[in-house]
Amino acid sequence: MSKVAEPYAPAAHHTLVNPSQERLRELTAAMPTARLTAYDNYNVQTEVLSRSIGSTYIVTDDPSITSSQTISVAEGRRVARLQEEYLSQRDVIVVDGYVNNDAEFRSPVRLVIEQANANIAGMQDHLLFKDPAGGDVVPEFTVIYTPGLKAPGYPSDRLIAVDLEAGITRVLNSDYFGESKKGLLRMWNQLVYQRGGLALHAGCKVVPTSSGERTLLIVGLSGTGKTTTTFTRQNDSKPVQDDFVALMPAGKVYGSENGCFAKTYALSAEDEPTIHAAVTSRVAYLENVSQKVVGGPVDFFDQSYTQNGRAVFPMEALGWSRDARDVGPVFALLILNRNDSVIPAVARLDQQQAAAYFMLGETQGTAAGGAAEAGKSLRVPGTNPFFPLRHADQGNRFRQLHRSGGFEVFLLNTGWVGGGEGDPAAKKIRIADSSALVKAIAERTISWETDPDFGYEVATRVPGIDDAELLQPRRLYQRQGREQEHREIVERLRRERREYLQGFPGLDQEVLEAVSH
């Protein structure tokens, strides 16, 4: 990826460079869509409620480099001229910082955003690392963000134009913060791949055990429990990273962000005290959380406007975390699958199965991916919708890194077995169950046997979980006289998985064979 030769920001009517958090808070307070909450932080209501996947395009004249939709370089230049002409008449904010904090690995980045959307600048500033020595940033990646500028001819008159060669993402006509965050991390995905690793849509935590400290990665789509699993405590575990990590050869891990972009729907102080305390602190920024009265409380359980309420806070707001520079190589990687049928609470995968289930990226969609995804069965390679290259490259690289790292890979269901929410025949896998599984994985206290349907290993005993039907859903279907339904689901999954993986030219043949059991 080519660097921007000089610190870059479009000419604007007025440019505010790297303001303090207090200044960004003042500018956010002046926004007509911002409401002060009872926690003395601000809650902004946006028009766009989630990532605009259908409006995201890679800028290239060679569509073979990516599995994403593309626009030409000439069209990218036209959009750049349109956006820069617009900004010449606006006040803007520039926020500089780094993705990752390792001096040998970090990437300098920049956000340019209309001052009218100061909350986006404040949220992004929380997530970026700063150089303790100060100095100017020469950005490798830049996001230029104009929520007020429409892009006629594109879906919803909205465009996210990703120019990998220039290192610039241009966002037009979206006021959702996630486009800023993902604009920088999408670029970082390519850089990590070029350096021999793979950027994972994953949290990271360290769990102390009697045999030493265990580094765990938690891979999953937004809304599947990735943040919750990362921040729940086992043996005084500590979170390292919330959303993206770089996995390198021999299991080496690098972090990406200095804060957390947390989903707030159904957030409770009882189940998730750490996240709840950070979200309700003064430094947090809230987005699209239900709030009836200015200055009053918010309702994390009200989804009448959207289920995709969000909050951003710095890691220091947690009061306890670990720096990625201080953790050891990966001990285990957990692939989250928020499911509602035959997926067990936990399964242990061999090397071929690990790469296959990583590529399958199965889960139930949530509002984080837009209304079109909510509640639907999804498959997203690597559970990473931000990988900008070919998906087969992602799967093959994961397999290489798994071999070199020697870590174990597990599948975790964070949803239901035997049916979905509201089904009286179904059983919920609770946060406490998932926490017990994480603890048992770290301590290696799970007993296993081979599953006759899918060939992976399922648990026969897990300390802290007494319900065998959560561990082996086949038992639930048998007890309820639903054996035929179970067989039909198994056969359908086998068939769909084979067909899905065959859709990635260049994917290792052994990965395809792992779902042919």
Q: pLDDT tens digit string along 13-51?
A: 899 999 999 999 999 999 999 999 999 999 999 999 999
Q: Would 381 be classed as within a structural domain? A: yes
Cα(159)–Cα(167) distance, integer angstroms: 16
Q: Which residues contact 196 (CB under 8 A, 6 or more apart)?
A: 248, 249
CATH of the domain at 294: 2.170.8.10
The DSSP code sequence of 324-376 is GGG--SEEEEEEEE--SSS--SEEEE-HHHHHHHHHH-EEE--GGG-TTTTTS
Regarding whether 180 and 163 lie in a shared domain, the answer is: yes
Q: Would 507 be classed as within a structural domain? A: yes
Regarding whether 185 and 139 lie in a shared domain, the answer is: yes
* Domain end point (choices 177, 195, 213): 195
| pTM metric for this prediction | 0.93
Which residue stretches of the chain have pLDDT < 70? 1-8, 135, 365-376, 517
**What confidence score (pLDDT) does residue 513 get?**
87
The tokens describing 267, both together, are 């957030």
β-strand pairing of 245-247 with 198-200 = antiparallel
Domain count, the chain: 3
Q: Which residues contact 258 (CB under 8 A, 6 or more apart)?
A: 101, 126, 127, 128, 129, 130, 314, 315
Residue identified by tokens 């975790």 is: 412
Q: What residue type is 257 in one-letter code?
A: E
Regarding whether 372 and 288 lie in a shared domain, the answer is: no
CATH of the domain at 156: 3.40.449.10
Q: What is the tens place of the pLDDT at every residue in 297-324?
A: 999 999 999 999 999 999 999 988 999 9
Regarding whether 502 and 459 lie in a shared domain, the answer is: yes
Range of the domain at 66: 14-195
Residue identified by tokens 């790469």 is: 355
Regarding whether 346 and 466 lie in a shared domain, the answer is: yes
Cα(494)–Cα(362) distance, integer angstroms: 13
Closest CA to 352 of 409, 391, 405: 409
DSSP 8-state symbol, 322: -
Regarding whether 447 and 392 lie in a shared domain, the answer is: yes
Chain-centre distance for alpha carbon 335:
12
* Domain end point (choices 146, 179, 195): 195
Decide if 150 contacts 47 (C-beta within 8 A). no
Cα(92)–Cα(145) distance, integer angstroms: 10
**Geometric angle at alpha carbon 75, from 55 and 140, rounded to 5°:** 80
Q: Which residues contact 246 (CB under 8 A, 6 or more apart)?
A: 100, 105, 188, 192, 195, 197, 198, 199, 200, 253, 254, 255, 256
**Geometric angle at alpha carbon 83, from 82 and 84, rounded to 5°:** 95
Decide if 138 contacts 3 (C-beta within 8 A). yes
Q: Which residues contact 293 (CB under 8 A, 6 or more apart)?
A: none
Helix, strand, or coil (residue 368) = helix
Regarding whether 397 and 473 lie in a shared domain, the answer is: yes
Regarding whether 388 and 291 lie in a shared domain, the answer is: no
Q: Would 333 be classed as within a structural domain? A: yes
Q: Would 428 be classed as within a structural domain? A: yes
Q: How many CB atoms lie within 10 A of CB 73?
A: 15
The tokens describing 141, both together, are 């990646």
Q: Would 1 be classed as within a structural domain? A: no
Q: Would 268 be classed as within a structural domain? A: yes
**What confidence score (pLDDT) does residue 320 get?**
87
Residue identified by tokens 């000089």 is: 6
Q: Would 41 be classed as within a structural domain? A: yes
**What confidence score (pLDDT) does residue 5 get?**
36
Closest CA to 343 of 227, 451, 484, 463: 451
The DSSP code sequence of 221-273 is -TTSSHHHHHHS-SSS-EEEESS-EEE-GGG-EE---SEEEEE-TT--TTT-H
Question: What are phi and psi for residue 371, nearest 5 degrees?
Answer: -60, -30
Cα(86)–Cα(143) distance, integer angstroms: 15
The tokens describing 11, both together, are 């000419």
Regarding whether 369 and 446 lie in a shared domain, the answer is: yes
Regarding whether 155 and 210 lie in a shared domain, the answer is: no
Decide if 414 contacts 363 (C-beta within 8 A). no
* Domain end point (choices 318, 346, 361): 318
Regarding whether 237 and 368 lie in a shared domain, the answer is: yes
Cα(449)–Cα(443) distance, integer angstroms: 18
Closest CA to 436 of 428, 427, 445: 445
Regarding whether 441 and 464 lie in a shared domain, the answer is: yes
Cα(240)–Cα(254) distance, integer angstroms: 10
Helices 391-405 and 351-360: crossing angle, nearest 10°?
150
Q: Would 113 be classed as within a structural domain? A: yes
**What confidence score (pLDDT) does residue 261 get?**
94
Residue identified by tokens 């959009």 is: 79
CATH of the domain at 426: 3.90.228.20
